[in-house]
Amino acid sequence: MTSTRLAERTKPARAPRRGLGLALAVLALAGACVLSLGVGAKAIPASDVIAAILDPDNGAEAPIVWSLRIPRTLMGLTAGAALGACGALIQALTRNPLADPGILGVNAGAAFAITMAIAFLGLSSPWGYVWFAIAGAFVATLAVYAIGSIGRAAATPVRMTLAGVAMSAVLAGVTQIVSLTNPRLFHSSLSWTVGSLGGRDLGIIAALAPLVGIGLVLAVLVTKPLNAWALGDDLGRSLGGNPNRVRVITITAITVLAAAATALAGPIGFVGLIVPHVVRWFTGPDQRWIVALSVVVAPVLLLVADSLGRILLPNGELRVSIVTAFLGAPLMMGLVMRRKASSL
């Protein structure tokens, strides 16, 4: 019975549909990259974008493409991949289809650490506070895991979810208090706290991309065990899995991915919640495909939302987190109104 249920999650009959979905996602990602490179205060045709990339020293558009558009697009690719994989892992770990990367307190821990670094250490550069974001995310995750493990019972998904929600509320409250009582901190951290793909150079992206790569490798390692994990601890253990090891590796991957994404772009909601849901409609409950397609589809959503924000406010910028909220809220309401959420 158990092996039948596991085979149902990974049955090869869905492979053509999954492969087609992956191919379409890659094409959509290529289109989103072209859109991101061409859209802005000055629209640049795709042919001129390609010419500027091939010859950075010639053409009036080359400085714009290389100094603004390429870092912004790479930011969307990196942060989007991290948020997509992170959301898929959190929903699988907590067995909660409505979970998102903030549920374990990781984003709140990163934001809290950055706020403290700016307020009390005077840091103002992403190079300075990015490491505080990672440290804050790790500490918050460990605290949530420790709180969820209090007592004789092991840290169950429900206990960890409740601990994460409580931790997020406390850290967010303290962060707001410190920000509102320090006008300098409030203004200096405003652009980061809103969530944006702009204002970052290639150096900071190159520094954090390896962390995202490590997180994605860990995610790949646990996708197959997570299929057994979804059947429950006892059934997963009967199939030869080690729930504690799967839990630790998954939490580590979630922490690394969420911390890197938050340090790069600030808090951006709905991407890690919506994308795994949409992907699951095509892939079914197999975590290997869910994580793989989420890594591709999440940057599409992030880049399209960022481009849409620049189109709506051509002389300024409607931050990507605001656009994703407008796009994600109707989808979220649709999910809530569905009779049955996509199976995990």
Find the CATH number of the domain harbouring 254.
1.10.3470.10
Give pLDDT tens digits for 189-228.
666 677 788 877 788 888 889 989 999 999 999 988 888 7
Identify the residue with better confidence: 71 or 269: 71
Q: In which domain, by residue range, is 92 found?
A: 45-259+270-336
- The answer to whether residue 113 is domain-embedded is yes
User: Is the CB of residue 143 less than 8 Å from the CB of residue 166?
Assistant: no
Question: Angle between the 287-312 and 202-229 helix axes, to the nearest 10 degrees?
Answer: 140
pLDDT for residue 35 = 92
Residue 30's pLDDT band, with cuts at 50, 70 and 90, is very high
Q: How confident is the model at residue 73 (pLDDT cuts 50, 70, 90)?
A: very high
Looking at the predicted structure, is the pLDDT value of residue 78 above 90? yes
Confidence of residue 235 (pLDDT cuts 50, 70, 90): low
Q: Are 117 and 123 in contact (CB under 8 A)?
A: yes
**pTM as predicted:** 0.83
Q: How many domains does the chain have?
A: 1
**Domain-located, residue 30:** no
Give pLDDT tens digits for 107-165.
Answer: 788 888 888 888 888 776 666 777 787 788 888 878 887 887 777 666 666 777 788 88
99, pLDDT greater than 90: no
H/E segment holding residue 261:
helix 243-265
* For range 168-187, the mean pLDDT: 81
Percent of the chain with pLDDT over 90: 19
Q: Residue 304 has what pLDDT?
A: 94
Residue 27 domain-assigned?
A: no
Residue 209: inside a domain: yes
Rounded mean pLDDT of the chain? Answer: 81
Q: How many CB atoms lie within 10 A of CB 234?
A: 10
Q: Looking up tokens 């493409």, which residue turns up?
A: 65
In three state form, how does the secondary structure of 44-104 look? CCHHHHHHHHHCCCCCCCHHHHHHHHHHHHHHHHHHHHHHHHHHHHHHHHHCCCCCCCCCC
Please give the biggest Cα pair distance in the chain.
67
Would 35 be classed as within a structural domain? no
Asked if residue 31 is part of any domain, the answer here is: no
- The pLDDT value recorded for residue 297 is 95
Instruction: Let me know: does 129 contact 117? Beta carbons within 8 Å.
Output: yes
Tokens (6 digits) for 239:
């199939």
328 within a domain of the structure (yes/no): yes
Q: What is the DSSP letter of 284?
A: T
Per-residue pLDDT, 243: 77
**Contacts of residue 98, Cβ cutoff 8 Å, sequence gap at least 6:** 91, 273, 335, 341
Q: Let me know if residue 265 belongs to a domain.
A: no
Residue-wise pLDDT tens digits, 32-50: 999 999 888 788 888 888 8
Q: Check: CB of residue 216 under 8 Å from CB of residue 85.
A: yes
